[in-house]
Amino acid sequence: MIVTFDFDDTLLYRTLEFDGDGDVIFPHRPVGDGRNPIGFFHLVEHLEAGDEVHIVTSRMRSKLPEVDEWLTRWGVRGKLAGVHATNGDWKARRLSELGSEIHYDDDNEELSRIRPPTKTQRIPPHPSWLVGGVD
């Protein structure tokens, strides 16, 4: 099976900063770089099943070294079939090119653009977004 994952907030779990009213500070300044427990669980699950797993991020290609460093630190980079950047474009075309059978993402708008045969799985939003009232 060919499986794809978004990176930011789907795998990388960042803590957001809030102002005195409890609203997320925009542009948000992420603090920390832990794992999204749900997204990372599914990533490991697919890797252990022997699936071909790719990361597809909307980040710019110039930011891929940061993604590679994080994936290496968490022990999964060498197990991935590839890491791809869309340079801010929607992911649907790249997923189709890869033959993705299922894509994991936290972004509803991103997921709404993906068409069959690719199935989609929404990863819950970061709890900080819920506290700040933003989703």
Q: Give residue-wise pLDDT tens across range 53-91.
A: 999 999 999 999 999 999 999 999 999 999 999 999 999
Total-model pTM: 0.83
Which among 4, 8, 3, 16 has a CA at the least distance from the CA of 106? 8
The answer to whether 54 touches 83, Cβ cutoff 8 Å, is yes
Q: What are the structure tokens assigned to 86, written together?
A: 């869309």
pLDDT band of residue 41 (cuts 50, 70, 90) is very high
Which among 133, 135, 126 has a CA at the least distance from the CA of 16? 126
Domains of the chain: 2-132 (3.40.50.1000)
Can you say whether the dihedral through the CA atoms of 83, 33, 43, 110 is positive or negative? negative
Most confident of 11-15, 25-29, 34-38, 131-135: 34-38
Q: For residue range 89-99, list pLDDT tens digits in order.
A: 999 999 999 99
When pLDDT is averaged across residues 29-38 and rounded to a whole number, the result is: 70
Q: For residue range 7-16, list pLDDT tens digits in order.
A: 988 998 866 6
Q: Which residues contact 83 (CB under 8 A, 6 or more apart)?
A: 54, 55, 57, 64, 67, 68, 71, 77
Q: CA dist 39 to 25, 96, 106, Å? A: 24, 21, 9
